[in-house]
Amino acid sequence: MEDSWDWVEEELKKMQQETPADPDMMQVVDAISVADFWKRRYDEELMLWERKLEIKEGEKKDLQQKAQTHEMAIRELDLKLKDLERRWQQEKLLLEDRVKTKEVEAVLERTKAQWETRLKAIEEENKKLKVQLGFADGGFPAQAVGAAMQPEYGIARGLMEKQLQDLKEELKKTEEESRRRLEKLEAEKNAVSRDLESREKTFVAEKEKWRKVESEVGGMSSQMSQQLTNLKEREQEHFTILEDLGRGFAHRVRNYLGIMSGTVQLCLANYQMENELKDQLNVVDQNAQEMLKSIEEFLSLARIPEMSIESLSMSDLLEACLRSLDNKLKAQNIAVTRNFGANVPVFSCDRKLFSEAFAHILQNSIEAMPQGGHITVSTFFDAVKGIIGVSISDTGCGVSEAHLKKIFQPYFSSKKGHKGLGITVAKRVIDLHRGTLTAESVKGKGTTVSINLLLDPAQQ
């Protein structure tokens, strides 16, 4: 495509092959080749480092997720261990109560012994009573008295022994059950402790690995930043040389074209010639004038302007620019919506340059909607970041993804008869004001151009 950067490179290669070697021309071609090499090298290195960082970030994210999983598992095990300790303490207290019950059993044993002693004493007394009764006159026989008292003593002794036996069995059963529960809790507690210890070791290892990867990512980021900075500096250095050579070359070509155009005009004014020859010379003069105009535009683009800075309202600048294009907007049936933020502060800028930048962007939107459409102009202020934002959206034909990557290149245009300098000039103006200009587009739906300007702290 004509007027694109690729086309310029192809034409320069053809000139190098077809025309005799000219020192000035070869110097420009060499500068373009070297600058293009460093640009491609920078792009390749950037893609490579971005891919490496993407892989490392993925590893870092996986390790973070694993660490979080292990940490949650450790917390759950810790809670489980605390619950087991609580239950174990409860069982321990219960067992202590059982031990106290054993003390009661011992007291009962002593009571039993006392009862047995008392029973023996009663039996001895009974025997004595039998003997006395056996010899007394008119009394009951000794066997009868002993037989009468024996059942009562037997029943009392049997009940006491049964109660003691039942109590012993109950205590034994409860003690065995408590010991089993304590042993089970102790085993479960030991298993959880071992699992917790293992998880903690794994967690520490994963955390150390994650820290190592994080350190590697930080080192890679620093290394990438340094290498890309070096490549960018080399690229900028060679492009600076290219700009200087380009300006010098353009001045020389402009002088030659001026001489050619002046000579042609003198011939047309002072010499009689056939109409066909006159028409051909007119074509030559028109082309020379067109080339001179293009060279002037190139020199204007390459020249760093002297800026006249003043504090201005962004909405006022946009409103003035829209008013200047009002006739074109009405002629093409294009409606405009203004969404100007109320809290947007004034901004220090060059009125003429910013008006020119906005005019180029709006002109592109108008040209993208020959059958009419809609333009939305918005402004906002991000107080946290200290950024003034401007967005200009249209409902035009849009730009393909392939062309979107090239729209900021000088002399690139997808429209016939256009030099492709408008958006380049706009971006240069925004760059001079320490801002950023980006574009988003969907083919067949429209384009949005976004401008972000960093506000000086003194202006906030």
Reply yes or no on whether the pLDDT at 390 is more than 90. yes
Residues 331 and 217 in one domain: no
Residues 316 and 230 in one domain: no
SS3 413: coil
Q: Is residue 281 part of a domain?
A: no
Domain stop point among 184, 211, 239: 239
pLDDT reported for residue 137:
45
Q: Which two tokens stand for residue 298?
A: 């190139």
Range of the domain at 446: 308-460
Reply yes or no on whether the pLDDT at 204 is more than 70. yes
pLDDT reported for residue 112:
66
Q: Is residue 248 part of a domain?
A: no
Reply yes or no on whether the pLDDT at 138 is more than 70. no
* Number of domains within the chain: 2
- Name the least confident of 11-20, 153-162, 446-455: 11-20
pLDDT reported for residue 142:
45
Q: Which residue has the higher pLDDT, 210 or 339?
A: 339
CB atoms within 10 A of CB 425: 19
- Residue 376 CA to residue 335 CA, distance in Å, equals 9
3 confidence band (pLDDT: 50, 70, 90): very low
Q: Which two tokens stand for residue 284?
A: 């030559």
321 confidence band (pLDDT: 50, 70, 90): very high
Q: Is residue 360 part of a domain?
A: yes
Residues 228 and 317 in one domain: no
Residues 332 and 221 in one domain: no
Q: Is residue 253 part of a domain?
A: no
Reply yes or no on whether the pLDDT at 387 is more than 60. yes
Residues 219 and 335 in one domain: no
Domain stop point among 239, 265, 284: 239
- Name the least confident of 46-50, 133-137, 325-329, 438-442: 133-137
Residues 356 and 230 in one domain: no
Q: Which residue has the higher pLDDT, 147 or 211?
A: 211
SS3 394: strand
Mean pLDDT computed over 257-273? 81
Q: Is residue 46 part of a domain?
A: yes
pLDDT reported for residue 305:
65
Beta-strand relationship, 309-312 and 347-350: antiparallel
pLDDT reported for residue 309:
87
Q: Are residues 203 and 71 in contact, defined by beta-carbon separation less than 8 angstroms?
A: yes
pLDDT reported for residue 99:
63
- Name the least confident of 199-203, 277-281, 355-359, 409-413: 409-413
Reply yes or no on whether the pLDDT at 373 is more than 90. yes
SS3 87: helix
Q: Is residue 64 part of a domain?
A: yes
Q: Are residues 340 and 299 in contact, defined by beta-carbon separation less than 8 angstroms?
A: no
Q: Which residues, in sequence order, are CB contacts of 460 under 8 Å at separation 6+?
A: 345, 383, 386
- Name the least confident of 200-204, 246-250, 354-358: 246-250
Residues 118 and 1 in one domain: yes
Residues 174 and 313 in one domain: no
Mean pLDDT of the residues in the chain: 74
pLDDT reported for residue 338:
93
pLDDT reported for residue 2:
45
Residues 11 and 126 in one domain: yes
Residues 104 and 195 in one domain: yes
Mean pLDDT computed over 238-265? 72
pLDDT reported for residue 340:
92
Burial 212-225 (b: 16+ CB within 10 A, else e): ebeeebeeeeeebe
Alpha carbon distance, N-terminus to C-terminus of the chain: 46
Reply yes or no on whether the pLDDT at 100 is more than 80. no
Mean pLDDT computed over 264-293? 82
Mean pLDDT computed over 127-134? 65
- Residue 320 CA to residue 434 CA, distance in Å, equals 23
362 confidence band (pLDDT: 50, 70, 90): very high
- Name the least confident of 3-12, 71-80, 368-377: 3-12
Domain stop point among 216, 239, 262: 239
Q: Which residue has the higher pLDDT, 128 or 446?
A: 446
Residues 188 and 312 in one domain: no
The domain that holds 357 is classified in CATH as 3.30.565.10
Q: Which two tokens stand for residue 314?
A: 């962004």
Mean pLDDT computed over 305-319? 86
DSSP category for residue 20: P
Which of 51-60, 97-106, 223-232 shows the highest mean pLDDT?
51-60
Q: Which two tokens stand for residue 259?
A: 């001489």
Tell me what percent of the residues of the chain surpass a pLDDT of 70: 62
pLDDT reported for residue 1:
44
Q: How many CA atoms lie within 13 A of 150 on its CB side?
A: 8
Mean pLDDT computed over 110-136? 67
Q: Is residue 245 part of a domain?
A: no
Q: Which two tokens stand for residue 413?
A: 């245009």
Residues 137 and 50 in one domain: yes
Mean pLDDT computed over 6-27? 56
Reply yes or no on whether the pLDDT at 453 is more than 70. yes
CA angle in degrees (0–180, nearest 5) for 82-83-87? 115
Q: Is residue 113 part of a domain?
A: yes
Q: Which residue has the higher pLDDT, 239 or 223?
A: 223
Q: Which residue has the higher pLDDT, 16 or 378?
A: 378
